[in-house]
Amino acid sequence: MKVLNFDELMIGEGRPKICVPIVAKNIEEANAQASEIANMSADLIEIRGDFFEQYSDRQYVINLIHEVKVITNRPVIYTFRTGREGGEIQIQKEEYVSLLKDLIASKEPVLIDVELFTGEKEVKDLIGFAHDHGVKVVLSNHDFDKTPEKEEIYARLKSMEEMGADIAKIAVMPKEQYDVNILLDATTMAYLEMDIPIVTMSMGKMGAISRISGEVFGSSITFGTVGKASAPGQINVDDLSHMLEIIHRQCVK
């Protein structure tokens, strides 16, 4: 398994790294959240661009990312989650690609989230553009309606790797407890057979176990919350850190 190294932060090695999303309307709210997160057990920050009132103002967003980086002293993932995958805003494909390219070119985020089903041509173009600018790519897919079969989950993760992603991420919604097992089985399969770090989660309260068991099954990042959650089932960051440490000490050799 390839490990991504950001200074001393090793993604894909050891216990899952905790990423805390910032869900804010403006710079002032983002800075307030960042100040709170700075004193917590967070390894990464995700900035959810689709929550910003001025999401299309490139310089405004670049300044916001920069200030969050300074306050938290953590690597930043920039994510614009589109409406079709559970985000706050649905924008046209051309605007989505243009926005991500402008933020990549700024080199403020060290990681950029790209949605798998944006389009094969657009995704490959974004990945190439990001790598040319020294930015890593989280290729992602979010299914808020169901949990696909294990083979389909694995196929989506594998396709992310084949397209050049640095991290492959998938989140699915369980309808029954067996669906959580499907996600965890697919996670183990991908962890054993793929060469890039993977991030998986089963959303909602039913899937909470998937957010704390990554070191056992192979998911390398988990998302905790400070205040407003960016997805259903996220756990408070301090509680999450405590549970991850217990699993690391007691259950993982």
Instruction: Answer whether residue 253 is part of any domain.
Output: no
The predicted model gives 163-189 an average pLDDT of 97
- The catalytic residue among 69, 136, 142, 150 is 142
Residue 251 has pLDDT above 80, yes or no: no
Determine contact, residues 168/199, Cβ cutoff 8 Å: yes
175 is catalytic: no
- The catalytic residue among 169, 205, 228, 253 is 169
The predicted model gives 48-66 an average pLDDT of 96
Instruction: Answer whether residue 5 is part of any domain.
Output: no
User: Which contiguous run of DSSP H or E holds residue 163?
Assistant: none
Instruction: Answer whether residue 6 is part of any domain.
Output: no
114 forms beta bridges with: 139
Number of domains in the chain: 1
- CATH number at 153 reads 3.20.20.70
Instruction: Answer whether residue 7 is part of any domain.
Output: no
Instruction: Answer whether residue 238 is part of any domain.
Output: yes
Helix, strand or coil, per DSSP, at residue 138: strand
> Of 170, 178, 179, which Cα lies nearest the Cα of 197?
170
Q: So what's the pLDDT on residue 110?
A: 95
Instruction: Answer whether residue 62 is part of any domain.
Output: yes
Instruction: Answer whether residue 1 is part of any domain.
Output: no
169 is catalytic: yes
The predicted model gives 100-123 an average pLDDT of 97
Helix, strand or coil, per DSSP, at residue 20: strand
- Residue 174 lies in domain: 13-248
Q: So what's the pLDDT on residue 249?
A: 85
